[in-house]
Structure formats: structure tokens, C-alpha cells
Amino acid sequence: MQQSNISFQARCAICNETVTAMLLLKREEVDAAVRQNAEVTVMHLAPDGDHVWALTDQEKTRLRNRIADGTL
């Protein structure tokens, strides 16, 4: 899976911290995923290795809003 250059503040499901997560989808795929409410996978680097998880519905809504208002 190719990582995009899009970062997003999200709560890591593994370490339970708010982190700057990188979206693991291309920009076009992110747009389609949030429109369809599909799974959006993100990752961040952590001392114990990469943490990879899916955004919650609330985080997908924030992502969708940022896309709509042009801030992402």
C-alpha cells in the first residue's frame, strides 16, 4: 500500500495517544473512502515500531470536513 503525504491528527488505537498520522491511501482513494464511509487506514512511527490502524467514524467525519473545507 502506498503512503500519501497527507497527515492528520488522530488518536492511535495502539498507544492511545493523539499523534500526527499519515494516511495510507493516495489522495484520490482518501476522497473516495470518506465519501463511501469506507475504512481509512493510517500509521505513525513509534519507538516500538509502526502503529497502523483504521480511523474511527468520528475521525473520518473530521477528515471529510477538512477535505470539504479545503484545509487538507
**What is the per-residue pLDDT across 32-72, written as a single tens digit (0 to 9) for each?**
998 898 999 999 999 999 999 999 999 999 998 988 898 87
DSSP 6-39: -EEEEE-TTT--EEEEEESS-HHHHHHHHHTT--
pLDDT of residue 25: 87
Residue 2: pLDDT over 60: no
How many beta carbons lie within 10 A of that of residue 2, not counting itself? Answer: 7
| Alpha-carbon gap, residue 47 to 25, rounded angstroms | 23
pLDDT of residue 3: 54
User: pTM of the prediction?
Assistant: 0.83
Average pLDDT over residues 12-25: 94
Look up cell 465519501; give the residue: 35
Q: Find the helix or strand (DSSP H, E) in which 53 lies.
A: strand 51-54
pLDDT of residue 37: 87
